Structure formats: C-alpha cells, structure tokens
Structure 1
Amino acid sequence: MVKLTLYGLDASPPVRAVKLTLAALNLPYEYVNVNIVAREQLSSAYLEKNPQHTVPTLEDDGHFIWDSHAIIAYLVSKYADTDSLYPKDLLQRAVVDQRMHFESGVVFANGIRSIIKPVVFFGQSKMPKERYDAIIEIYDFVETFLKGQDYIAGNQMTIADFSLVSSVASLEAFVDLDVVKYPRISGWIKRLEQLPYYEEANGKGARQLVAIVKQTNFTFET
C-alpha cells in the first residue's frame, strides 16, 4: 500500500503543483501543514527530512524528496499507469523539462519569490519597476509557448502544466492577467480549471496567496 506524506502549505505554488499531480494520479496521501511564519521549517525535526528547509517535501516510505519538479517527475515515473503526464519520448520530455526549468528559474524566481520575500517577510512597501516588467515578460513568454497548442508543452496535459499553472495563477497577486492581451493564457487556465480536482489542489491556495500579498498594499515604483 502506498504511504505518502506531503509537507507544505496551500499558499505555496510549488506545493500546489505537487497536489495537482497527486490528484491526477489519484494517490492517497497525508498532508502536513508547515507554518513557515512560525518557522516550523527550521525545526530540527523538519531539517532532518529536508536540510534545505523548503516546501514541499514528500515522504515516500521513509524516503524524503524536495523540490516540486523532482517530486512530480518522481511521482509520475513511479506511480502513473501511462507516460502521458511525463512522456518517455525524449523530444517530448525535453519540452516538458524545459517548461519546468522555466517555471523554477524564471516564473518562480523572478516573478514570485523576488517579490514575496521582501514584501511579505520584510515589509517592503515599494518594489522596483523591473519586478513589474519581469512579470509582464513572463506573461509574454507563456502566451508564446501556448501558440497553436492547448497545453504548455503540447496538445496533451503534462506535469509541466501543473508546475506552470500553480505559479502563473499566483502572479495575479502582483499584476492582473490582461485576458484581452493574453487570451491563450486565459483559455489555458480555464481549461485546467475544468479538472475535478483543480479547485481543491490549486484554486483555493492561489487565492490565499493573492489575499496575503494584497493585504500588504505594496506598489511598484514608476
């Protein structure tokens, strides 16, 4: 019997990417909330599981894996009945991997973490315009990636969609998505919202993050 435990919090986009994957695979798991404001991730018990003290962390039969991209690739590789979510074809897989690297290195690093850390944790009230420009650039890239296809890495849903939508849906905490300028992104998000597990796995957590950030009333410099 599968024994999985996911450590995280719903407001975290990477945690939500894992929740989407677990739901798509219909895998049961225990969910342990990690209160990062109370610095539970720095407890000795958590550091034994993940010395990098990040969320999410997945426990599978006493083994610990962190980084959402590593986790979702692992889950599909081990537990999926087919390779549709993470194709074995090397060219198709390379596109999926590229999109996930784009999420980690550009969307999350430049678009989310670079604002969340100073605004939410250090109370910074103004952010440089370059941070705004970085989010617009992300939207532009994602809109381009979706040209001529329904999903972020092609015409079938993959774990790259779970990774990207968890972060792209969270960007509205900083810059609202212009549905006229970005119709492909809007359509893609709506397509994923039709998944029976989307709201529980990603929708409510994305709204939590948006609410947390909006409460700070931060602004971008002009």
Structure 2
Amino acid sequence: MPAKLYKMDFSPPARAAMMACEIFNVPVEIIDINVPQGDHLTPEYLKMNPCHTIPVFVDGDFVIHDSHAILMYLADAYGDNSPLYPKDIKQRTLVNQKLFFTDGTVFTRLKRITYPAFVHGVRGVSKEILDSLQEVYDFLEAFLSRHKFLALDHITIADIAAYATASGYQYVVPLDTNKYPKVAAWLKEMEKQPYCQKYNAAGDKILGEFLRSVIESK
C-alpha cells in the first residue's frame, strides 16, 4: 500500500513535500485538501494532525505533520544514503540549520501575509513586513556566499524546503539581481530542476497571483 500525502498546491510546505517524494521515488498517493471547504477541519484530518496544517504524510500507521520533518523522514527512509541529506554529522547539522532557518524565518515571514489574507481576508501589506522579506534576501545572499547552495555545495533538502517558499517572495518584493546575484543564480538553478518544474511551478504561480491581489488591494 502506498503512503499518502495530503497537500494543497497553494502551500509551499506541501510543494516541498511533493518534490521530496519525487526525488526519493516514494510510492505515494497524493490527496488534495480543500481548505475553503474545511477539509483540514474534519474529524478524520484532525485525528492525523490536531494543528490542521498542510501537508500531512502517512506511511502505514506512521503520521507526520510538519513539512521539514517529512523531508527528513523521506530522506532517511527512502533516500538510500542520498547526499541530499548527508549522514556526516557536520554536514547534516548544516542542512538541519537551514531547514530550521526556513521554518522560523523564510516561511514564517511570508505567512505574515498569507495567513491573515487567506483566513481573514486582510488586504494590503505593511512596510515592516516588506522590509522583513527584503532582509531574508540579505540572509540568503550571505549563506550563498559560503556555499553554492544553502547548506553545502550541492542541493540538499534544505534547498528544497527554502525554494518552495522563497520562489514566491518575488511576487511581493522583486529581487534586485545586481544586489543579490547569488540568490538570483540559486533561484534560477532550482527553477530548472525537473521536480521543481513538476511540483512547484504551478502552485507558486497560484500563490503569486494571490499575493499580488493582496498587495494591490487597498
């Protein structure tokens, strides 16, 4: 029986999980969750994930409801010693560090726009929030000045997690490629990956259109 991944294309964390399933060749049934219809609030879904967030990954009787934990699990369970999540303790720590950075900073700062807008209909974005997104470009440029990719000199699950969210930043704060050449190169390199084209591009466009509607509304 294949595993199950509950997702919504609008969600960057869900897209990261889908990309990881593709990368690690996970036999998985992908199930859409319709948030406006309340699929994430049904008793069945809440039993899997009391936080009612997306995605949720179910592997037999094992349930995970955080995208970063899902990526880590998939790499270990299906990755066959993949360099995307190295066994070397120092390299793995660097990957974990960037996963936590994505969770606590990259995604959280964008969520300050998407959550109030999607759930409560809030429109418009403050300068404070725009500046906080701009600062993330500063952080990314600094990290990418140390390695070709976020954690190491090759793609890891940290890049998968970060890219799924950072690809949407440009709809809010357009990237100055002269100021952030390494971020621009990283985004371009990630964009051309087959799994990003298959599972991130369309959802990113949906999110981008939504973000533009939020920003342009007064």
**TM-score bracket, shorter-length normalisation:** over 0.9
Is 1:36–2:35 an aligned residue pair?
Answer: yes
Pairwise mapping of residues 153-164 of structure 1 onto structure 2 (< 5 A)?
A: 153-164=151-162
**Aligned 8 A contact 2:99 2:161 in 1:** yes
1:206 aligns with 2:199: no
2:130 is equivalent to residue 132 of structure 1:
yes
Deviation string, structure 1 residues 123-148 (Cα, Å, up to 9, x no partner)? 22233211011001001100110014
Q: Which moved more, 1:17-26 or 1:121-130?
A: 121-130
- Name the stretch that deviates more: 187-196 or 211-220: 211-220
Deviations 1:160-191 (A, max 9, x none): 00000001001123211222221111111111
> Partner letter of residue 107 of structure 1?
V
Q: Does 1:97 align with 2:96?
A: yes
1:40 deviates by: 1.1
Report if aligned partners of 1:124, 1:218 keep a CA contact under 8 Å in 2: no
Distance 2:44 2:216 in 1: 35
**1:120 aligned residue:** 118
Q: Distance in 2 between matches of 1:128 and 1:158?
A: 33
**1:3-32: per-residue Cα shift (whole Å, max 9, x none)?**
211001111010111111111112231111
Counterpart Cα distance in 1 of 2:152 and 2:215: 38
Q: Which letter does structure 2 place at the counterpart of 1:161?
A: D
Q: Which residue is equivalent to 1:63?
A: 62
Query: Does the aligned pair in 1 maintain the 2:4–2:58 contact within 8 Å?
Result: yes
- Distance in structure 2 (CA, Å) of the matches to 1:52 and 1:217: 28
- Distance, in Å, in 1 between the alignment partners of 2:119 and 2:97 is 30
Identity, % of aligned positions: 35
SS of 2:214's equivalent? coil
Instruction: Answer whether contact 2:14 2:55 (CA < 8 A) is retained.
Output: yes
Between 166-175 and 134-143, report the one with greater CA deviation: 166-175
**Deviation at residue 217 of structure 1 after TM alignment:** 4.1
**Which one of the candidate residues 156, 167, 188 is aligned to 2:186?**
188
Supply the AA of the counterpart residue of 1:36: V
Structure 1 stretches lacking a partner, 5+ long: none
| Rounded Cα–Cα distance in structure 2 between residues aligned with 1:41 and 1:156 | 35
Amino acid in structure 1 at the alignment position of 2:61 = G
What SS class does the counterpart of residue 194 from structure 2 fall into? coil
Distance 1:38 1:213 in 2: 21
- Matched residue, 1:81: 80
Partner residue in 2 for 1:177? 175
CA RMSD in angstroms comes to 1.6
The CA deviation at 1:149 is 2.4
Give ranges in structure 2 of 5+ residues lacking alignment: none
Is the partner of 1:215 in helix, strand or coil? Answer: helix
Quote the residue 1:144 is aligned against. 142
1:27 matched to 2:23: no
What is the identity, as a one-letter code, of the residue corresponding to 1:73? M
After TM superposition, give the deviation of residue 104 of structure 1 in Å. 0.6
Q: Which is further off, 140-149 or 66-75? A: 140-149
Count of residues in Structure 1 that have an aligned counterpart in Structure 2: 218
